[in-house]
A and B are shown apart, each in its own frame.
Chain A
């Protein structure tokens, strides 16, 4: 275990990255996201949070990505399919967790194996949907701001209508 020492004498222990080498290929990513999302904010020590965040980056760089590359860039089609199936599930639940594999999808879309192509397409679509959701959220924020400004008389009807049109086009 990797030990992180808190100022109050307490500790946080995380599994060593060496032990993750035998994990299913997508699991290091799930672990990183899990600790970042659910645990990091609970330790109550900013220094430890920083150190753990750096350790999670280290896991991403040294274990998660190389393992994905070794499987997705390899020749074992069954292993690629298995990994892609897990990544597809992951991309549905939390797209950000699966994001590091995005650069490798282009090659997989050209693969001769139909199952691999199908899974790669599905993951790509999940990324596109997530990107669109993000964009829409940003536009929705802008739209709300424009509405407030329009109601306050700070912008004219034409400017408001233009923003509304852009928002609705994206929404469709």
Chain B
């Protein structure tokens, strides 16, 4: 397949077939049914989130009047309470509940921080503004002492309200960029993601202000590396192959993953990832695919279970004659990480993925996306990606 001499117009057939399959299924799409032993999280609007805060505070006040010993209950986010839902291919939070008490020395600092964050969330929602996690830490440095503490309280508050972190108006700092055949609305402005130069649009963490209004894209490509994104943007890849390109420069933060989820859900397009052929690249793909363990309570809103691993696969290195000089030996850490990923249930159940990781482990090699530059700078955009998208060589 890859060895034949090619200078052709790729028909991009496999991707088109996948798109047709999605479009046919689209009309019969159903809501995700979560397993009974997992908790349900809702993506709430401002008013609904405020209502949940008021109900929660009312229940604390009621407990104070009734017992004088108020407590707050929230779902446990420990690893023992994280469940892989095989049917929906998601990491979810189980039904284990933690109780935080006001009257014990061990939990008083924790619960005070929690209530302070709840107060800040209320303020943000009432004023209809957003704040970053760093800003939250600086609202009360003495109380939080370390940003780790405020970050933990932020996640606790979201899970305590059974909602997403974005619904609390606490957002991540802007990180990812997006470019391609897409038009969006940001409050009163229409933004054309084809007309912003090669730098693209910085994905806004204030996603509640963003709405997808038009697109003639036929697939979405998520790219791990900024350098690869730059290569594709410079080639105006989306003009020849109607697509939307997105990068998070590494692991996608909440905003990037939520935006990708919305693109995938609302536009119902095939989604592919292009990551380095190393355990970290596979880990990044898995985060987009099933969500992270830390934010497992938000997985239904952050994960894109239909994302395909387009490359770079270990098997691609021989198929595309990647020279030995640009293949890198795996370190001990790489080997350990690869073994860890191989142990994950969701990898074990995906034979092709399992085999490719096993091959990497056997050969003890890894390679970056940029390794394709050894065949020329345009190889990635003119040969590798078009061929993979045409033949359907993905996992």
A positions within 8 Å CB-CB of B: 1, 3, 9-15, 19, 23-24, 27, 30-31, 34-35, 38-39, 42-43, 86
Asked if B19 is at the interface of the complex by the 8 Å CB criterion, the answer is yes
Say yes or no: is B8 at the interface (Cβ < 8 Å to chain A).
no
- Residue contact B211 to A15, C-beta cutoff 8 Å: yes
Question: Is there a chain A Cβ closer than 8 Å to B214's Cβ?
Answer: yes
Q: A19: which of B23, B211, B215 is its contact (CB, 8 Å)?
A: B211
Instruction: Known A3-B23, A31-B190; judge A15-B212 contact (CB<8 A).
Output: yes
Q: Does B278 contact A (CB under 8 A)?
A: no
Number of A-B residue pairs, CB cutoff 8 Å, is 47
Q: Roughly how many angstroms separate A122 CA and B215 CA in the complex, as a whole number?
A: 36
Residues on B close to A: CB < 8 A? 16, 19-20, 23, 183, 185, 188, 190, 192, 211-216, 218, 242, 266-268
Are A11 and B192 within 8 A (Cβ)? no
Given contact pairs A11-B218, A27-B188, enumerate 7 new A-B contacts (beta carbons under 8 Å). A11-B23, A12-B216, A13-B216, A19-B211, A24-B188, A35-B214, A42-B216
Query: B242 contacts A10, CB within 8 Å?
Result: yes
Interface majority SS (helix, strand, loop, mixed), chain A: mixed
Q: How far is the CA of A1 from the CA of B213 in the complex (A)?
A: 8
Find the residue from A11, A34, A35 having the highest chain B CB count within 10 A: A11
For A43, the chain B residues whose CB sits under 8 A away are 216
Using Cβ atoms and an 8 Å threshold, which residues of chain B touch A3? 23
Q: Which residues of B contact A12 (CB under 8 A)?
A: 214-216
B263 to chain A, nearest CB (A): 11
- Per the bound structure, the CA–CA distance linking A12 and B218 in Å amounts to 9
- A10 near B266: Cβ-Cβ < 8 Å: no
Chain B residues closer than 8 Å to A34, beta-carbon distance? 183, 190
The 6 residue pairs across chains A and B that have the minimum distance between CB atoms: A12-B216, A15-B213, A9-B16, A13-B215, A14-B214, A34-B190
The CA-CA distance from A30 to B213 in the complex, in Å, is 12
Partner of B216, one of A10, A15, A31, A38: A10
| Chain A residues within 8 Å of B192, by CB | 38
Query: Which residue of chain A lies nearest to B194 when distances are taken between CB atoms in the complex?
Result: A42
Q: List 6 contacting pairs A-B, 8 Å CB cutoff, sorted by A.
A: A1-B212, A9-B16, A11-B218, A13-B267, A19-B211, A27-B185
- Within 8 Å CB of B267, what residues of A? 1, 13
Given contacts A1-B266, A39-B183, contact A31 B213 (CB under 8 A): yes
With A and B bound together, what is the CA distance between A30 and B214 in angstroms?
13
Determine the chain B residues whose CB is within 8 A of the CB of A13 once the complex forms.
Answer: 214-216, 267
Residue of B nearest to A13 (CB): B215
Closest chain A residue to B212, Cβ basis:
A15
**Given contacts A1-B267, A30-B190, A14 and B213 within 8 Å (CB-CB):** yes
Name the A residues within 8 Å of B211 (CB-CB).
15, 19
- Of the listed residues B213, B266, B267, B268, the one surrounded by the most CB atoms of chain A closer than 10 A to its CB is B213
**Contact (Cβ within 8 A) A39 B214:** yes
Nearest to A19 among chain B residues (CB) is B211
List the B side residues contacting A35 at CB < 8 Å: 214
A145 and B58 alpha carbons, distance in the complex (Å): 80
Determine the residue in chain A with the shortest Cβ distance to B213: A15
User: Are the C-beta atoms of B19 and A11 separated by less than 8 Å?
Assistant: yes
Whole-angstrom distance between the Cβ of B262 and the nearest chain A Cβ? 11
CB neighbours (8 Å) of B216 from chain A are: 10-13, 39, 42-43
B188 neighbours in A (Cβ, 8 Å):
24, 27, 86
Docked pose: A35 CA to B213 CA in angstroms: 10
Residues in B with CB closer than 8 Å to A27 are: 185, 188
Q: What distance in Å separates the Cβ of A34 from its nearest Cβ neighbour in chain B?
A: 5
Q: Nearest residue in B to A1 (C-beta to C-beta)? A: B266
Distance from A101 Cβ to chain B, minimum over Cβ atoms (Å): 17
Output the least CB separation between A29 and chain B (Å). Answer: 12
Look across to chain B and name the residue whose beta carbon is closest to the beta carbon of A52. Answer: B214
Most chain B CB atoms below 10 A, which of A12, A13, A38, A42: A13
Bound CA–CA A62/B266 (angstroms): 23
A43 to B213, CA, bound (A): 15
Q: In this complex, what residue of A is CB-closest to B216?
A: A12
